[in-house]
Structure 1
């Protein structure tokens, strides 16, 4: 039986979100003609604060950053902020990392931005494209040039994209990437002559990348099954091997590698510099958020990647939400519409599809006083983005019984490691929804409490 929506009223979705029942169309998210490059900005850039025209990046040097997801773009902005590539917002006392004023106020002028160009290798799914468009707007607002590539817009698109990027790749002094496992990125790495390479977070995969690099293994995503490579893997193996060598520092210093991460990297390969991402740009640019009563639950794409069984996941979400009084479910951008519809019907949760990464949504608010999550990137990033607030982040382990038969043998250990290494979070045990004699048949007393305390 479908569940009644949780709460007599629900808080309005945070700024930058849309409820699943009535998703707002994403402006400019329609596909461009196949094989075309659609720059988001042309000509000179406008200075954020003064309105002066900033100089376009020089052609003989500079930095190219390649991103394929909204989180990657966010982390490039965090890296640029930490590296002094953009104006640094300051508080009234000139302290970095504190808001300069109200939400959305342009950052104060500080360290002049360098020659950083963001190249978006656009995916095809609408949710990711929409979030990337919004993040690109923020990047342009900070004075960076953004180049939008329809890198997957048809069979000929990769040839057009790579052909158009070959010159800039060979001229760039530094390359920033977000996903070293991406075949697209690996192919681009074989072209560049840049001395400096920077890897920013693309979620928890950064942990696996550093471990594989240290062990000298070929780069394979953690959720893929082991075994012999397939035919396509064999064809691409020389490219992947060359890209892996580009991601390995040279003893002579001719090739330098930095990992900019909020993940717990305890050791790194020799020569790799690890820089902590503290989400200072996010905290300086947005918030602090308005905190509302109750809990919010963060979704995961573990079902879509074939790691967790759908029925077990829906059951776990329902129990976790009922045990902690959650009323909203913040969907992962890769979660399918069918799965989200089932969650809304079976659990009564209000499903919200953010159009920005959750770190920004939470920092802008309103956000629940407790954020519930399964093992994912946010158990590492949200405590940093929400530092200085009273929001509590709690994480629920994945029960091994929830895993599918096709899940990678490494899945259980990897997910346990994601949870076990998280800092400043509360570990949750298996939830059992509380029930009381006062509640009507089939409705726990906790549900009545939710209906009384749900934020308006």
Structure 2
């Protein structure tokens, strides 16, 4: 076990915030961890409030810093979730943290691992990004810094995702440490803050419509055709107009939780099921709910749902965790 000193985490999504707490509980960072959440994001405020009401790991402090990102010192570890953020990449050029810990930020985590093990100098850019020359240069510089941290044993990837064996081996070959977890801290906490919905079918919202990857009418037609009462938990990036249409449909109840579904749905019971389009939440919910006898199913997206913006490679990437499928 490496020597562990103070650490600072910068988080910009509810999942990043939850995984930073899990990283402290797992001992990936030391007992002095300040988690700084980006301000003005409703989901982060809700998640922080709910986390503060639970038994946080020793030495962990939660704070909000508006849009100001703290720069880690040379004696500090730096915990972050979005390695593709231009702000994070720019900060990394002038920072030299003792250790770098990357926590989950959805499927972007897998893309990060793929780029980390790609040809040296491959820019760290999001999928489907049309980048300027300046942005590509920044992504390439951030990639070199990340690889240097890996080679010197200063990079840890902390994830709940099932990383394919070949990719995991390639990541470790770079010198990076790959640590997996199963939300052990969250599973140890009471779920009373989120009474389970009475509906037997729970549907997780998706950002694929707003991102222009699937057709709105196909998605809503599928949702409205589901039998029985449906509990709907929106994705944090869903279009407000689409949500308004869902709210107006009889038989569908929208629950505005704000916090990650890993927190809001962990008290479901046998007889209930969760349906979701391709999402990393499916993987984490299976970890949390399988022992309870709750089915968590990924809906296999039909070909005619996809828009021209969804390339074959992107479709494959999005559906890489759809091990169990529910007929649409």
Q: Distance in 2 between matches of 1:215 and 1:349?
A: 44
Distance 1:247 1:326, change over 3 A: farther
Conserved 8 A contact 1:177-1:199: yes
Larger Rg: 1
Q: Which residue of 2 aligns with 1:128?
A: 43
Matched, 1:73 2:17: yes
Residue 64 (structure 2) aligned to one of 148, 151, 155 = 148
Aligned match of 2:135: 236
Quote the Cα distance in structure 2 between the aligned partners of 1:297 and 1:149.
33
Alignment of 1:2-401 (within 5 A): 61-83=5-27, 114-122=31-39, 124-125=40-41, 127-135=42-50, 137-138=52-53, 141-142=56-57, 143-151=59-67, 161=68, 165-166=70-71, 169-216=72-119, 217-222=122-127, 224=128, 229-230=130-131, 233-249=132-148, 253=152, 255-266=153-164, 267-268=167-168, 269=171, 270=173, 271-287=175-191, 294-319=200-225, 321-322=226-227, 325-346=228-249, 348-364=251-267, 369-401=272-304
Q: Is the 8 A contact 1:333 1:353 kept in 2?
A: no
Deviation at 1:172, TM superposition (A): 3.8
What per-residue deviation string (whole Å, max 9, x for no partner) do you get for residues 109-152 of structure 1? Answer: xxxx6111112123x45x4343344256358954522231211x
CA deviation after TM superposition for structure 1 residue 392, in Å? 1.1
Mapped contact 1:63–1:174 kept (Cα < 8 A): yes
CA pair 129-200 structure 1, distance change in 2 beyond 3 A: closer
> Secondary structure of 1:145's partner?
strand
Three-state SS of the structure 2 residue aligned to 1:359 is helix
Q: After superposing the two structures, state which structure 1 stretch, 280-289 or 359-368, moved more.
A: 359-368
Gap regions ≥5 residues in structure 2: none
Normalised to the residue count of structure 2, the TM-score between the two structures is 0.85
**Matched residue of 2:248: which SS?**
helix
- With 394-403 and 338-347 compared, the bigger mean Cα shift is at 338-347
Distance 1:172 1:306, change over 3 A: farther
Query: Once the 2 structures are TM-superposed, how far is the Cα of residue 384 of structure 1 from its aligned partner?
Result: 1.2
Say which SS state the counterpart of residue 73 (structure 2) adopts: helix
For residue 170 of structure 1, report the CA deviation from its aligned partner: 2.5
Q: Helix, strand or coil: the match of 2:101?
A: strand
- Tell me, yes or no, if the aligned pair for 2:268 and 2:294 is still in contact at 8 Å: no
Whether contact under 8 Å (1:283, 1:385) holds in the other structure is yes
Q: Is this contact kept in 1: 2:200–2:230, CA < 8 A? A: yes
Give the aligned length.
Answer: 314
Change in Cα spacing, 1:380 to 1:251, as seen in structure 2 (3 Å) is: closer
Q: Partners of 1:277 and 1:252 in 2: how far apart?
A: 23
Contact 1:196 1:257 in 2 (8 A): yes
Tell me by how many angstroms 1:361 deviates: 0.8
* Mapped partners of 1:199, 1:293: distance in 2: 36
How far has the Cα of 1:329 moved from its partner? 0.7
TM-superposed deviation, 1:382:
0.2
1:332 and 1:353 in contact (8 A); partners too? no
Say if 2:55 and 2:189, in contact at 8 Å, map to a contact too.
Answer: no
Note the aligned Cα RMSD (angstroms). Answer: 2.7
